[in-house]
Amino acid sequence: MKRQRVAVLGATGSIGSSALDVIARHPQQLSASVLAAGRNVDALVALCVQHRPAHAVIADPALYGALCEALRAAGLSTHAHAGDDALCALVAGDACDSVVAAIVGAAGLDSTLAAARAGKRLLLANKESLVMAGDLVMAAARQAGACILPIDSEHNALFQCLPDGRVSAGVERLVLTASGGPFRGRDRASLASITPAQAVAHPKWSMGPKISVDSATLMNKGLEVIEAHHLFGLGNDRIGVVVHPQSLVHALVEYTDGSTLAQLGLPDMRTALAVGFAWPARIPSGVPPLDLIAHGRLDFEEPDMDTFACLRLARQALDAGGSAPTVLNAANEVAVSAFLQGRIAFLSIPAIVESALAALPPAEIASLEAAREADAQARHHATQALPRHARA
């Protein structure tokens, strides 16, 4: 494996920290050359002290001075940058060979696209960019010869279960597993009073707050169905979802001859990241092997799409096509953020997403501008709806 200089976008987050853990285990083969974060200068500089990147980027331009000052105070020669344009230029330029796209939400779209257009090895965790503008991201990667390595446990598992990581003749269906989140088995009425703290307490995975809420509503699985559609090119009807509470089987590929291949492992994103860095080789990730005897059993059940309407809404948006998935994603981001701030109830999340989808008919997404426009309209619609859903 040639030494890879890696840009870690979203370095201060959950995926970012897992990526840096794997990188630090392989100093001969991997180095963190660019670290980027949203607003937390102290956390970013602490990572710079540890990983000595050539470049550090803070998203908020107002924090540029604070970043320069903190890097200097720490005695580092790391170059400071601020803003999305600077980030995209670094991602596309000579500062890195591969990019871990782990910014949360639509904010990650530009840098994901920049990496795809520059033909970089793209370890793609930012599923929202595929939901928002999947055709554009995939076309850019194809044109530039960028290799996309999915960093979502389910999609990474599918990638591992498919020859060359692609769907070819003989593949019947892809199946994503879902843990079911913290409220599996509950009825709708009991979800009315869920608090943000309860929603982010995921039973199996330790993740950032937004994706944790998405897991609790099952929107995460809906976004993942759309993500799988773009990554592997199959339609809604050939992408199944089964609930698997132990989160040890991450996904399955059904072949036409009756064979089903599954990928298993502990719920720890370092495995997917190690695959992303090294594929087709394998490198240690720090994740211990799976002890099947200790775990004892694997259970599977049907998802409850009536109680958890977000999965149904996501599938509807995929069928509707055009801007519908973009609208779904943007309205969900607004609603989840308001829920995390304690402004709306848990069940208002699907209600706001459903109302945005109903109000904004699907338009064609032929350009980045069209995707941004659909995203902005849905954010506006969802923001307007918040007062009607305000918690007493």
Told to check if 229 binds ligand NAD by CB under 6 A, we report no
- Please choose which of ligand NAD, Mg ion, none residue 53 contacts, taking the beta carbon within 5 to 8 angstroms, the exact cut-off set by kind: none
CA contacts within 13 A on the Cβ side of 293: 0
Q: Which of 182, 284, 166, 289 is nearest to 234 (CA)?
A: 166
38 annotated ligand binder:
yes
Site membership for ligand NAD, residue 14 (CB under 6 A): yes
Q: How far are the Cα atoms of 71, 197, 311, 332 from residue 304, in angstroms, in the given order?
A: 49, 22, 9, 19
Residue in 103, 158, 313, 349 binding ligand NAD, rule: CB under 6 A: 103
Using CB under 6 A as the binding rule, the residues of this chain from 117 to 146 that contact ligand NAD are: 125-128
Strand pairing report for 249-255 and 260-264: antiparallel
Instruction: Select from 269, 314, 353, 374 the one that contacts ligand NAD (CB under 6 A).
Output: 269
Stretch near ligand NAD under the rule CB under 6 A, chosen from 134-142, 182-190, 209-217, 303-311: 209-217
Return the sign of the alpha-carbon dihedral for residues 147, 151, 152, 155: positive
Is position 179 annotated in a ligand binding site?
Answer: yes
Asked if 325 touches ligand NAD (CB under 6 A), the answer is no
Does residue 253 interact with ligand NAD by CB under 6 A? Answer: no
Residue 59 binds what, of ligand NAD, Mg ion, none (CB under 5 to 8 Å, by partner type)? ligand NAD
CA distances from 292 to 265, 315, 390 (A): 10, 33, 46
208 known ligand binder: yes
The minimum distance between CB 206 and ligand NAD, in angstroms, equals: 7
10 labeled part of a ligand binding site: no
Nearer to Mg ion, 250 or 389 (CB): 250
Instruction: Confirm whether residue 212 is marked as ligand binding.
Output: no
Q: Which of 21, 83, 205, 238 binds ligand NAD (CB under 6 A)?
A: 205
In the complex, the smallest distance separating the C-beta of residue 10 from ligand NAD, rounded to whole angstroms, is 3
The binder of 103, among Mg ion, ligand NAD, none, by C-beta within 5 to 8 A per type, is ligand NAD
How many residues bind ligand NAD (CB under 6 A)? The answer is 27
> CA Rg, the chain, in Å?
20
* CA 150/CA 226 separation, integer angstroms: 13
Interface segment toward ligand NAD; rule CB under 6 A; list 10-18, 75-83, 88-96, 251-259: 10-18
Closest separation between CB of residue 10 and Mg ion, Å? 15
Return the residue nearest ligand NAD (CB atom): 13
233 beta partners: none
Which range, of 98-106, 318-326, 349-357, 375-383, touches ligand NAD by CB under 6 A?
A: 98-106
Taking the alpha carbons of 219, 279, 16, 25 in that order, is the dihedral positive or negative?
A: positive
Contact residues: Mg ion, CB under 5 A? 152-154
Candidate list 32, 45, 59, 344; residue touching ligand NAD; CB under 6 A:
59
Interface segment toward ligand NAD; rule CB under 6 A; list 206-214, 226-234, 258-266, 352-360: 206-214
Q: Which does 10 bind (CB under 5 to 8 A by kind): Mg ion, ligand NAD, none?
A: ligand NAD
Task: Answer yes or no whether residue 333 interacts with ligand NAD by CB under 6 A.
Answer: no
Residue stretches of the annotated binding site for Mn(2+): 152, 154, 224
Which residues would be at the binding site for ligand NAD (CB under 6 A)? 10-16, 37-38, 40, 59, 102-104, 107, 125-128, 152, 205, 207-211, 269
Residues contributing to the annotated binding site for NADPH: 12-15, 38-40, 126, 128, 208
Binding residues for 1-deoxy-D-xylulose 5-phosphate: 127, 153-154, 179, 202, 215, 220-221, 224
Annotated binding site: 12-15, 38-40, 126-128, 152-154, 179, 202, 208, 215, 220-221, 224
